[in-house]
Amino acid sequence: MKENGMEKLSAELKKILGGSRVSVREPMYLHTSMRVGGSADLYLRPRDEVSLMEALCLLDERQIPCHIMGAGTNIVVRDGGIRGAVLQIGKDMDAISSDMDSNSLTAGAGAQLAAVAKYAAQKGLSGLEPMSGIPGTVGGALFMNAGAYGGEMSQVVTRARVYDRAAHIVRTISVYEMRLGYRSSIFQAHDEYIILSVMFSLKRKDIDSIKSKMRQLAKRRNSKQPMDMPSAGSFFKRPAGAFAGALIERAGLKGLSCGGAMVSEKHAGFIVNTGGAKASDVLALMRRVQDAVRAESGHELEPEPRIIGEDV
């Protein structure tokens, strides 16, 4: 997309989507927890669902590719940035509500999962405790079927409202239609489905016991994971019959670095940004870890974060 064309499209979108954030050549390291990545040609953060749908309609009409993202906690953007548009669903679409008669909770796709878990705890609704420390949004968590400490989204989600870009309608789909598996969902294969909100089915429980469990898990997480350094969370998916962190540590890779990227000395399953890392550092280190683990144990490690964009 040419610079002049981007400026014109940006001005048009600002006029149509009053109140939504629209910018050109937006540095993506500002919007990812790994703190790496080049610029997106066009960056949008819609103020509401209507603005989201209007923006997508215009982009589709102009045949401009669009990447949808949440909090950017499970994404690595390459150093060359992203051609086309990035649409970030965040705090402008983060409403949370509950129905205590049915023990259900509904959250906008932009709501932080940790905030939803905290809201549920205050209502005496249990089920989200294992995921209370997962960074990122509800939409992103459902997209990846995120999980931790024996819990995952598939266990508590009942349905979701999605915008179908192909049909230009909002539809409700059940958890069975989502095909939720280990870090997978129908949304990864069908990018025309944009998650708008998610409904959870939870269970009544004593508020103090819910909060106590959340504190225990937070203490466990803080003691074992490098929470003080930029990362994309657990960098590798769990291979069959093993744990990625244990395999990496067994291969003697803790502390291995490439540029500003390093295998965490606290938890080998994390690649951290020690300061000034480039995406190329992160990806080069990823490949070195994959090669070493394959040679040592025969296991193939797959990255958990989505790797998007172009190289320089």
Phi, psi values for residue 251, rounded to 5°: -80, 0
- What pLDDT does residue 23 have? 94
* CATH class of the 94-209 domain in this structure: alpha beta
Annotated active-site residue 26? The verdict is no
Strand partners of residue 193? 164
Strand (E) or helix (H) holding 141: helix 138-144
Catalytic residue among 26, 49, 152, 304: 304
Residue where the block lists tokens 């050109």: 24
Q: Does 227-303 match 94-209 at the fold level?
A: no
Q: Reply yes or no on whether 183 is catalytic.
A: yes
Q: State which CATH number among 1.10.357.10, 3.30.450.40, 3.30.43.10, 3.40.190.80 fits the domain covering 3-91.
A: 3.30.43.10
pLDDT for 179: 96
Among residues 159, 161, 165, 183, the one annotated as catalytic is 183
Q: Looking at this protein, which amino acid is placed at residue 32? A: T
pLDDT for position 15: 86
Letter string b/e over residues 133-153, b meaning 16 or more CB atoms within 10 A of that residue's CB: bbbbbbbbbbbbbbbbbebbb
CA triple 36-18-27, angle to 5 deg: 10
Output the CATH code of domain 227-303. Answer: 3.90.78.10
Of 10, 20, 51, 234, the active-site residue reads 234
304 assigned to active site: yes
Taking the CB of residue 94, how many other CB atoms lie within 10 A of it? 17
Unique residue bearing structure tokens 């803790």: 254
Q: What is the pLDDT of residue 1?
A: 54
- pLDDT, one tens digit for every residue, the chain (312 residues): 566 788 889 998 988 888 889 999 999 999 999 999 999 999 999 999 999 999 999 999 999 999 999 999 999 999 999 999 999 998 899 999 999 999 999 999 999 999 999 999 999 999 999 999 999 999 999 999 999 999 999 999 999 999 999 999 999 999 999 999 999 999 999 989 999 999 999 999 999 999 999 999 999 999 999 999 999 999 999 999 999 999 999 999 999 999 999 999 999 999 999 999 999 999 999 999 999 999 999 999 999 999 999 999
User: What angle do helix axes 3-16 and 49-61 make, rounded to 10 degrees?
Assistant: 140
The structural domains of the chain, with segments of one domain joined by +, span 3-91, 94-209, 227-303
